[in-house]
Amino acid sequence: TGTGTPQGRYPSAGFVEGAKPTAIWNEYTNASYGGGSTGGFPLHSYNPLGMIDIDGDFEEGANYTNTFTSNTGCIEPAGSGTGGIPCDPPDLWNGNAMLIPNGNPEQGDYKFLGAYTSWAVPEGASPEKTYMITSNFHWNGYNVMNPPVLWADDLEENAEGDSVWLGAGYISNPDFHINADGVGYMVQVGWGNITDIAGNDDDVDLHSGQNQGIFYKMTDDYGDSWTDVGGFKGSGYHVIPDAVSLRLTDSLYTVWTEEENEYYHHYGDSLWFEGDTTEDGDYIPYLMTPGWRPFYTCEMRTDSEGGLHIVFPTLRSICYDKNGGCDDNDGPDDIPNSGDDDGYADSLYYTWTLGGSGIWHIYSPDPMSGEDNWTASLVHDMALDYEADWFASDIATLFHDGDGSDYLGTMQYFYPNITMSAESEETMWFAISGMSDYEIEYDADSSETYIPTDIDIWMAKSTDNGHHWSEVENVTNTPTTGELVPTTPTTGGGYPSEAALESGIHLANQGMDESVGVFYQMMDPNVNTIDDNDGYEDYKNWVYVGVYGIHWEDVAIGKENIPSAFTLKQNYPNPFNPITQIQYEMKSAGQVNMELFDIRGAKVRTLINEQKPAGSYEFTFDGLQLSSGIYFYSMTANGFTKTRKLVLMK
């Protein structure tokens, strides 16, 4: 800080069965305390007594050791204020750090690994370098650290001096995970430099540059070394080929079409977008087309068999259905990577409003062996989250600035998490923060805008290695209420006074078959700590830690759990033909009235009008006798009213 007083940032919990629990964090300080131009002093401490005392009870009063510097280039102790020497390298900030079992007995039973991004760049520039910090030896919680090693660089060049990436800010920070056998991967998402004038760069032809690529390296020695030869431009990075993206999206879209899935558009369905018209006023026709567009905020895990799992946000691909726009004829054949025969439609666009935009899971049991063993599945549809106008809401996040790209802010702030079970090889857990409630606003021509009003934690589970997932469930379901906190220059304000906005979700490094550790935070809208008031992080945040568990096969509506609030959920599927389900919850007994209206606001019919006890309910709506179109269902109970939209598509 300006005074040099250290402040803790970016905490991580380093723990694995049998090891001493280790607290890992950064200190935000200035150069006289070891920080550089932006602070960044990585530290750790451990509990020498472990997690339990001799009676088998949790040892709450155990003391952690004094702090240890994780970066050996920090020659002055934290807080000394004497040397005025920044760390080398300086400004190592947000880190992905962990303890793992170590198969090399000469280094001890466990190993410390941390990937730290350096912020030692000009103000306003993107971070360019990530350093890996590892332990040389670990004993009873104590780590002898290796010097930081440059691990990833936005400006990396291959042996011929050719840049691997398009430049700074075009590739994500690396994520990594290593299993108990020492096999692991690091993954980055971004734009590779596909320029290959001489025609001799390896694997460049696998990645056309039509979308962001997914790049990865492998380790088989607990992170001591990573692939550094072969692959994309001889850099050691391997890239998931465009052919995989095209094959997997085509396969999934084909399944939706053949099953006549009522929730997703099918191959051959014409798509029109409001305001997207020709000079004559005719709507421009589009069609679905293969291809994904992964975003930077991916998450990955290495399973016990050495397979690679990646989850990432992605948008849907569409093409202009006119003048051959959905064909693949562009580019001369004699120029590499000019677009000819790349498999993509000549007129390729992306949309975030179609069902199927959201979180996808891809998996390969051996990603180093080729492209034919990748599979994909849709984990969580977030099209409505991406379409919503967060900037206009009372719960906008740091990344929603109203510049017309709210969907990018949503993809960045609401990032996915996965983890594996320690009991079964094929059991996985998924979690994400996301919109759980919204209001609909209409303009003069009846165009609608979704305004988010609440955020909750959504979770799902797979028992077949991610090939199929349970329906996502709102596991927190805490309503946001209250009047807006008055805004002042010094206290911030502007959020609902009783906001319950769960964010910053993380899952434990490993779960069990029927339970998993969950970590998230909730901002306190009444305690502003940073004057600029840009988002939730400028407020006091409460961190919640717990264990979530459920027998998914036993999930049913109408169980004995009493809901904590009145809730009317979005019908599913939507769009539908002609059957859809509407779920609602009653905190207390009362008269329930649910009515259906057409787009003009005219009442179509009464769906429910009866007394209901407290509990959870599911209503089956049959639209067989209605024409295709947009309808609204409105429910009133105990003084509360909620309205949602449904779309009947025959």
Residues 374-431: tens digit of each pLDDT = 999 999 999 999 999 999 999 999 899 887 778 999 999 999 999 999 999 899 999 9
Q: Which pTM value belongs to this model?
A: 0.81
- Please indicate, yes or no, whether residues 501 and 516 belong to a single structural domain of this protein: yes
- Please indicate, yes or no, whether residues 439 and 566 belong to a single structural domain of this protein: no
Could you please report the per-residue DSSP string of 424-447?
-TT-EEEEEEEEEEEEEEE-TT--
- Please indicate, yes or no, whether residues 429 and 544 belong to a single structural domain of this protein: yes
Residues 6+ apart with CB under 8 A from 503: 397, 413, 414, 433, 455, 520, 521, 522, 523, 536
pLDDT tier for residue 83 given thresholds of 50, 70 and 90: low
Task: State the pLDDT at residue 241.
Answer: 93
Average pLDDT value for residue range 440-463: 88
Residue (of 539, 542, 523) closest to 531 by Cα position: 539
Last residue of a domain, one of 520, 555, 590: 555
Tokens of 394: 């009372």
Task: State the pLDDT at residue 456.
Answer: 94
- pLDDT > 60? residue 556: no
Report how many domains make up the chain.
Answer: 2
Taking the CA of residue 119 as centre, how many other CA atoms within 13 Å lie in the half-sphere pointing to its CB?
Answer: 17
- Please indicate, yes or no, whether residues 543 and 578 belong to a single structural domain of this protein: no
As a whole-number percent, the residues of the chain with pLDDT over 90 amount to: 44
Could you tell me if residue 12 is inside a domain?
no
Average pLDDT value for residue range 318-343: 67
Could you tell me if residue 277 is inside a domain?
no
- Please indicate, yes or no, whether residues 449 and 571 belong to a single structural domain of this protein: no
Could you tell me if residue 232 is inside a domain?
no
Last residue of a domain, one of 526, 555, 584: 555
CATH number for the domain spanning 567: value is 2.60.40.2550
- Please indicate, yes or no, whether residues 496 and 427 belong to a single structural domain of this protein: yes
Average pLDDT value for residue range 320-341: 64
Distance CA 362, CA 593 (A): 43
Distance CA 382, CA 450 (A): 13
- Please indicate, yes or no, whether residues 530 and 426 belong to a single structural domain of this protein: yes
Task: State the pLDDT at residue 154.
Answer: 93
Last residue of a domain, one of 555, 571, 588: 555
Return the sign of the alpha-carbon dihedral for residues 584, 590, 596, 600: negative
Average pLDDT value for residue range 541-566: 63
Task: State the pLDDT at residue 330.
Answer: 59
Could you tell me if residue 407 is inside a domain?
yes
- 299-303, 333-337, 349-353, 559-563: which has the minimum mean pLDDT? 333-337
pLDDT tier for residue 56 given thresholds of 50, 70 and 90: very low
Tokens of 454: 């609440």
- pLDDT > 90? residue 626: no
Task: State the pLDDT at residue 197.
Answer: 59
- Please indicate, yes or no, whether residues 586 and 498 belong to a single structural domain of this protein: no
- Please indicate, yes or no, whether residues 543 and 404 belong to a single structural domain of this protein: yes
- Please indicate, yes or no, whether residues 548 and 566 belong to a single structural domain of this protein: no
Could you tell me if residue 450 is inside a domain?
yes
- Please indicate, yes or no, whether residues 482 and 518 belong to a single structural domain of this protein: yes
Residues 106-129: tens digit of each pLDDT = 888 899 999 999 888 766 566 689
Could you tell me if residue 481 is inside a domain?
yes
Could you tell me if residue 21 is inside a domain?
no
Going through 230-276 in order, the beta strands assigned E by DSSP cover: 238-239
Task: State the pLDDT at residue 614.
Answer: 86
Task: State the pLDDT at residue 601.
Answer: 77
Distance CA 38, CA 529 (A): 19
Question: What residue numbers bound the domain in which 509 lies?
Answer: 382-555
- Please indicate, yes or no, whether residues 566 and 440 belong to a single structural domain of this protein: no
- Residue 26 and residue 4 in contact, taking contact as beta carbons nearer than 8 Å: no
Could you tell me if residue 449 is inside a domain?
yes
Task: State the pLDDT at residue 261.
Answer: 74
